[in-house]
Structure 1
Amino acid sequence: MDQERLYALLAREMAGELTAEEANTLQQLLQQYPDASYIREVFAQNWVPAGKQYGPSQVQQLLEKHQLRLQAASLPEETPVTDIAPPRKVWKLYTAIAASLLVLVSLGAWFLRQRPAQKPAPLAQLVTAKRMRSQILLPDGSRVWLNAGSKLDYPEQFAPHSPREVHLEGEAFFIVAADAERPFRVYTKAFRVHVLGTSFNVRAYPLEDSAVASLVQGAVEVILNNDSKQVVALRPNEKLTIPVHPVTTEATTAAPIPTMAALQKSKLTLVQDSIIPETAWVQNKLAFKHLELEKVVVMLEEWYGVKIDFRNNNKRKLYFTGVFETESLEQVLNAMENTQSFTWEKDNTGKIWIR
């Protein structure tokens, strides 16, 4: 193997037996394995071999012993160099090389253990308030749209040869730059999404009773609660709805992991023309299809930055379909009120009441 060859050449270099051809090979291997350059320097600077702690005098004794082994293995200057060295000289030479190789390998292992771990890249955060939507280009070229009342944590730079990881609270639409060596991962409190290059939507607000992953293009895997045994693969135009326990201000026990039977996998459907409710917000359109009024209310609160509540809880389970773009909150409520299924009013504080 190349690494074994590298250590053998380093040992021969220390023994003074390196040929010109081997020197060229050594330089090529040092470029291929840059860590070995550090090992070479560390050894040359009288560092301690792996696995032991020595004082200055003990370090000096070890180095002197190692130098004596090398000298014993070297041929005297006045001795003519022949093609075949005497057996005892050969044995000494390769014993010294083996000893050097052992020290180098041990020192390499020690060096790798002692090298400080790579610090994670500083995190950046994008937060959108209610009524606001934002768009950002991540360091890898992936593009993210962040819906109202959402938060995205991401590194200022993605590490090379490592997964690209972001953390989401709320809703975001992703168009991920393809990179087979660095899979893209979106973490939420309910699940995480694994992807190589695709476009998808994730909705995971802390106050909602479900989280949804919707795939537009490509392929993704949804891993529930970071449990690698619960994996759901999505194909284009599919979504996965996961029941969760909404976060409240009261003390609660840990939410149970949803079972596979509790999941709802379904197709993305158009509400009109080419509008998909799950991603319409990216086009600044408010769209919902056969959705309970209590969930429509949550969307209206985020979209318009208001508070809405029910005076009549029986109205919560009414279902509505609609697409709105430039309409005001009053126009949206009036349009739904025209179905004669409920009425609404605004109190002195500006809060909306459904009755």
Structure 2
Amino acid sequence: MSFTDTMDQEKLYALLAREMAGILTTEEAEDLRQLLQQYPDASYIREVFSQNWTPAGKQYSPQQVQQLMEKHQQRLQQISEAEPYTEAPEPRRHWGWYSGIAAGLLILLALGGYWRYGQQKKTPVVLSQLVTDKRMRSQILLPDGSRVWLNAGSKLDYPPQFAAHQPREVTLEGEAFFVVQPDAERPFRVHTKTFQIRVLGTSFNVRAYPLEDSAVASLVQGSVEVVLNDASKQVVSLKPNEKLTVPVHPATEQTENIVAVHTPLVIYKSKLTTLQDSIITETAWVQNKLAFKHLQLDKVVTMLEQWYGVEINFSNNRKKQLYFTGVFESESLEEVLNALETTLSFSWHKDADGKIWIN
């Protein structure tokens, strides 16, 4: 059977090329299925195309592809001139069909060779990384001019250069404050294990430490969208002076017969917390201030451990539920603990090994 329409032939070759490259859309797959039903003989071409036709170690450059195409066209032209169409019409229709197959096959081989050639040319992007230990805070200017402050015990992965016309993407573990340069063509995205933040240009804070029971996105200026990483893919828009708190469930083990079922996340949107002199507790650390308002003592202790690089233990777990408010800037750890101890709600001491205990 031969093609009755040259456009059908060209469309088939194009669809098979896209299928071979792995970029066929659902709509195109349906078009290909209908063409293969209409021209059953074309299924053979598809089978041939599915084979690995590029010998190991042999790749075609764009110049070689062009030369192969030109030589093939010359051979087809010579055959057409040597054999007039008035003789043996039926076989010639088959020859036209098979020469079309050959031409299409060469085109797809050329495309495949060119695609593999291009793939070989691509070099994996090696990400840069900024890491801060406990007691350390750092800042960095990203390649696009955006500035990032990184809190203690955090890690930021980012590319040495952001690609043109592509989203600017970084990955955060820990806490960071971002001031993003506006760029409508390249939206900025921050990835964490709990959510993704999408933004054009603004300033915001992200706290997503791996061992904490929640992750928080706090917006200071501009607007952002927070996209949850769970199955819901829920999108939450934030306005200035708003923050979103997302509970983080610990990983649940799965056995062969029991599969964990997670309840839907209950997320919280609220206003940023302010203290004296308009200090915002969520971003005070950027100004080297340790600030918290009506915060449970176990969470305050977590902040102190990160801030001062120490380990603090509880000898009385009931003390974890106490709430405290405070702002500290240049005080030592002992001075902070002594200030909190004046509430007479707990005491603290350091043992012979230098470990700190809250009683």
TM-score, structure 2 as length reference? 0.69
What amino acid does structure 1 have at the position aligned with 2:264?
T
Distance across 2 between alignment mates of 1:221 and 1:309: 38
Report deviation, 1:140.
1.1
CA contact (8 A) 1:315 1:342 kept: yes
Runs of 4 or more consecutive aligned structure 1 residues displaced over 3 Å after TM superposition: 38-44, 66-72, 101-114, 117-120, 226-229, 251-258
Match of 1:320 among 321, 324, 330: 324
Distance 1:300 1:119, change over 3 A: same
Aligned-CA RMSD value: 3.2
Q: Percent identity?
A: 65
SS of structure 1 residue aligned to 2:278: coil
Secondary structure (helix, strand or coil) at the match of 1:162 reads: coil
Work out the CA distance in 1 between the residues paired with 2:190 and 2:262.
18
Residue 161 of structure 2 is aligned to residue 161 of structure 1: no
1:46 matched to 2:56? The reply is no
Using the alignment, how far apart are the partners of 1:138 and 1:344 within structure 2?
Answer: 42
Query: What SS does the corresponding residue of 2:319 show, helix, strand or coil?
Result: helix
**Where does residue 116 of structure 1 map in the other structure?**
119
Paired with 2:80 and 2:288, the residues of 1 have a C-alpha distance of: 76
Partner residue, 1:64: 74
Aligned match of 2:204: 200
Partner of 1:18: none
Q: Distance in 2 between matches of 1:256 and 1:268?
A: 33
Closer, same or farther: CA 314–226 of 1 in aligned 2, 3 Å? closer
Report the count of equivalent residues: 279
Distance 1:71 1:282 in 2: 80
What does 1:184-333 correspond to in 2, within 5 Å?
A: 184-225=188-229, 227=231, 229-246=233-250, 252=253, 259-260=264-265, 262-333=266-337
Q: TM-score, normalised by structure 1?
A: 0.70
Deviation at residue 304 of structure 1 after TM alignment = 0.5
Distance 1:193 1:43 in 2: 44
2:280 partner amino acid = I
Give distance in 2, aligned partners of 1:225 and 1:255. Answer: 17
Task: Look up the match of 2:132.
Answer: 128
Counterpart CA distance in 2 for 1:199 and 1:306 is 30
1:68 is displaced (CA, Å) by 3.7
Give the secondary-structure state (helix, strand or coil) at the position aligned to 2:119: coil
* Secondary structure of 1:232 counterpart: strand
One-letter identity of the residue aligned with 1:214: S
> Could you say if the C-alpha distance between residues 190 and 110 of structure 1 is closer, same or farther in structure 2, counting changes exceeding 3 Å?
same
Per the TM alignment, residue 229 of structure 1 is displaced from its structure 2 partner at its CA by 3.2
> 1:334 matched to which residue of 2?
338
Give the letter aligned to residue 68 of structure 2.
N
Cα pair distance change 1:273/1:256, threshold 3 Å:
farther
> CA 1:110–1:67 in structure 2 vs 1: closer, same or farther (change >3 Å)?
farther
TM-superposition CA deviations, 1:130-182 (whole Å, max 9, x none): 00001011111111100000111111111222111111111001111111111
Name the CA shift for 1:258/1:42 in 2 (closer, same or farther; >3 Å).
farther
